[in-house]
């Protein structure tokens, strides 16, 4: 059975890859003080897959190879398959203390988008991409790969198409076509887990025109391929008392540089068919927004839990305004799940696989992004100022200040200062730290900017039907 252990996953990252962080080259991502934390977080995905009690959730049959593989690499045939995928992503995020595991979800979102669009492309244009996509899925599943989705280009002037930019390197593009493959150049940015996956699946980020054909490009490449370099975003090492979440669970995004990288033809899934770049970007976006909807529930539950806990510790847990805010948090958490389940149940079917309902997936992503800051506000309003002003674990450890802290920072009857501080620190970590700020921005822009969802919703809704309804009601023609 092709399911790797977390040790095998970690070992596979020691492959000569070129990764940089904070101006330095990284020898081994699995032992680097900053990068080892998200690497360990990601390895949970492999631990869950090894747990016999979770078999039904984490494993599925891939019919093309007749083997049991990671559920992420299954061809989802039914709404039930999508519901299981949702459940798996949500469970991973719960185990990761609200932080998604992600190292197969985004890559398989890309695979599923390629499966749909390449079949249409082959049928319409007589190309032969679909068999390559299928073979690549089999390869990912058989080797149980950790796979990132690299879609977002650096983009230069956002108002211009790739071919109109002052430099061709603002979008990843074909530099040369050869008998055995292509040479590509450019950079993808913001790529989640880039320093510690096995391969990148690269897709176009936008719709294109005829002049952009060298930029209409999709391919797969190992992280350690010659000419590939990853510049990771910065972070710092934190202690668990003061940063109970971000000391253990987070992802590091990276900018991937493609410096004249050779890609053999069997790993190329789009090379010049500019008419399909937009379809690939949009189909991926729906898959990925469904993933977003699937992982957000545990984070919303955790916000609710920490708000109620600190209210209880402060002795105000039953106050009516606290209940009102907690009720808003319940609504936030459960509405996210309602959208995810509805998008699965009202799936469309393309190229033989179930595809999350695009309107509902976009509405759901828009809902959680637009409500996240308000959810944090509720937690902060309930928790009070000590979230940012309370002493630290070091003050609690210092014999000169320890007793004062124990005396003055205790809460309601029976609540010790240490327990209260632990909860306050968790709230600081989740709502008022650098990590919290990253996550606020990630909630807006991850899975695509909110404007991208507005555009998708506008395109998908039958506006004319509503206009006809209005005309009928008004008695106009």
- Of 6, 118, 448, 456, which one interacts with ligand FAD (CB under 6 A)? 448
**Is residue 350 a contact point for ligand FAD (CB under 6 A)?**
no
Residue (of 298, 297, 235, 305) closest to 97 by Cα position: 298
- Closest distance of CB 278 from ligand FAD, Å: 13
- Closest distance of CB 219 from ligand FAD, Å: 14
- Closest distance of CB 277 from ligand FAD, Å: 14
Burial 31-51 (b: 16+ CB within 10 A, else e): ebebbbbbbebbbbbbbbbee
- Closest distance of CB 435 from ligand FAD, Å: 11
In the shown chain, the binding pattern of residues 402 to 441 toward ligand FAD, with x for contact by CB under 6 A and - for none, equals ---------------------------------------x
- Start-to-end CA span in the chain (Å): 65
Using the structure block, give the residue that is written with the tokens 């596979």.
Answer: 12
When the beta carbons of 149 and 305 are compared against ligand FAD, the nearer one is 149
Q: At what angle do helices 105-125 and 130-142 cross, to 10 degrees?
A: 160
Residue (of 219, 208, 177) closest to 274 by Cα position: 208
d(CA 225, CA 17): 8
**Is residue 151 a contact point for ligand FAD (CB under 6 A)?**
yes
In the shown chain, the binding pattern of residues 111 to 150 toward ligand FAD, with x for contact by CB under 6 A and - for none, equals -------------------------------------xxx
Q: Which stretch binds ligand FAD (CB under 6 A): 122-130, 179-187, 307-315, 446-454?
A: 446-454
- Of 190, 248, 345, 402, which one interacts with ligand FAD (CB under 6 A)? 190
- Closest distance of CB 157 from ligand FAD, Å: 9
Q: Which residues in 305-344 contact ligand FAD (CB under 6 A)?
A: none
For the chain, the 3-state helix, strand and coil shares in percent, each to the nearest 5, are 55, 15, 30
- Of 55, 248, 350, 445, which one interacts with ligand FAD (CB under 6 A)? 445
**Is residue 3 a contact point for ligand FAD (CB under 6 A)?**
no
Residues 6+ apart with CB under 8 A from 80: none
When the beta carbons of 194 and 390 are compared against ligand FAD, the nearer one is 194
**Is residue 109 a contact point for ligand FAD (CB under 6 A)?**
no
Residue (of 345, 387, 377) closest to 364 by Cα position: 345
- Closest distance of CB 41 from ligand FAD, Å: 14
- Of 199, 235, 253, 429, which one interacts with ligand FAD (CB under 6 A)? 253
> What one-character-per-residue DSSP string does 88-109 give?
HHHHHHHHTTT----TTHHHHH
In this structure, what DSSP letter does residue 274 have? G
Name the phi and psi angles at 392, rounded to 5.
-105, 180
**Is residue 277 a contact point for ligand FAD (CB under 6 A)?**
no
**Is residue 231 a contact point for ligand FAD (CB under 6 A)?**
no
Residue (of 99, 80, 23) closest to 438 by Cα position: 99
When the beta carbons of 19 and 309 are compared against ligand FAD, the nearer one is 19
> What one-character-per-residue DSSP string does 229-268 give?
EEEEPP-----TTT-TTTTT----EEEEEEEEEEEEGGGE
- Closest distance of CB 205 from ligand FAD, Å: 7
- Of 1, 24, 25, 159, which one interacts with ligand FAD (CB under 6 A)? 159
- Of 192, 282, 357, 380, which one interacts with ligand FAD (CB under 6 A)? 192
In this structure, what DSSP letter does residue 333 have? H
Question: Which residues of this protein are in contact with ligand FAD, per CB under 6 A?
Answer: 106, 148-152, 155, 158-159, 190-192, 253, 441-442, 445-446, 448-449, 451
């Amino acid at each position: 059975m092709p399911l790797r252990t977390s040790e095998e996953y970690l070992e596979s990252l020691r492959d000569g890859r070129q990764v940089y962080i904070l101006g330095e080259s990284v020898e081994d991502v699995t032992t680097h003080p900053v990068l080892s934390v998200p690497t360990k977080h990601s390895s949970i995905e492999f631990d869950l897959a090894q747990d016999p009690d979770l078999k039904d959730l984490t494993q599925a049959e891939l019919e093309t190879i007749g083997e049991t593989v990671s559920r992420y690499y299954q061809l989802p045939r039914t709404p039930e398959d999508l519901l299981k995928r949702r459940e798996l992503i949500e469970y991973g995020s719960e185990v990761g203390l609200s932080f998604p595991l992600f190292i197969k979800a985004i890559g398989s979102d890309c695979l599923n988008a390629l499966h749909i669009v390449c079949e249409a492309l082959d049928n319409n244009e007589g190309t032969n991409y679909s068999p390559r996509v299928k073979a690549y899925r089999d390869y990912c599943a058989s080797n149980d790969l950790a796979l990132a989705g690299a879609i977002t280009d650096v983009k230069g002037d956002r108002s211009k198409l790739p071919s109109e930019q002052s430099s061709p390197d603002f979008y990843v593009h074909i530099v040369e076509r050869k008998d055995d493959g292509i040479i590509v150049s450019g950079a993808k940015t913001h790529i989640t887990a880039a320093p510690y996956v096995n391969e990148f699946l690269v897709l176009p980020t936008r719709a294109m025109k005829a002049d952009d054909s060298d930029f209409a490009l999709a391919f797969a490449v190992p992280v350690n391929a010659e000419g590939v370099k990853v510049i990771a975003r910065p972070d710092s090492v934190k202690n668990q008392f003061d940063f109970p979440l971000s000391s253990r669970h987070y992802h590091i995004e990276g900018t991937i540089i493609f410096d004249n990288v050779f890609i053999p033809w069997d790993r190329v899934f789009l090379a010049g068919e500019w008419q399909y770049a937009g379809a690939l970007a949009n189909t991926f976006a729906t898959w990925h927004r469904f993933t977003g909807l699937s992982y957000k529930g545990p984070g919303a539950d955790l916000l609710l839990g920490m708000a109620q806990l600190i209210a209880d510790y402060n002795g105000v847990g039953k106050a009516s305004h606290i209940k009102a805010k907690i009720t808003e948090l319940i609504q936030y958490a459960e509405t996210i799940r309602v959208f995810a389940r509805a998008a699965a149940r009202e799936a469309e079917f393309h190229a033989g696989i179930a595809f999350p309902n695009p309107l509902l997936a976009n509405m759901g992503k828009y809902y959680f992004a637009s409500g996240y800051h308000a959810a944090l506000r509720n937690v902060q309003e309930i928790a009070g100022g000590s979230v940012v002003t309370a002493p630290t674990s070091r003050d609690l450890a210092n014999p000169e200040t320890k007793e004062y802290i124990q005396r003055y920072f205790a809460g309601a009857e029976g609540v010790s200062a240490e327990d209260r501080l632990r909860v306050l620190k968790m709230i600081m970590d989740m709502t008022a730290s650098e990590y919290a700020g990253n996550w606020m921005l990630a909630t807006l822009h991850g899975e695509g900017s909110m404007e991208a969802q507005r555009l998708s919703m506008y395109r998908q809704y039958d506006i004319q039907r509503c206009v006809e309804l209005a005309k009928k009601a008004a008695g106009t023609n």
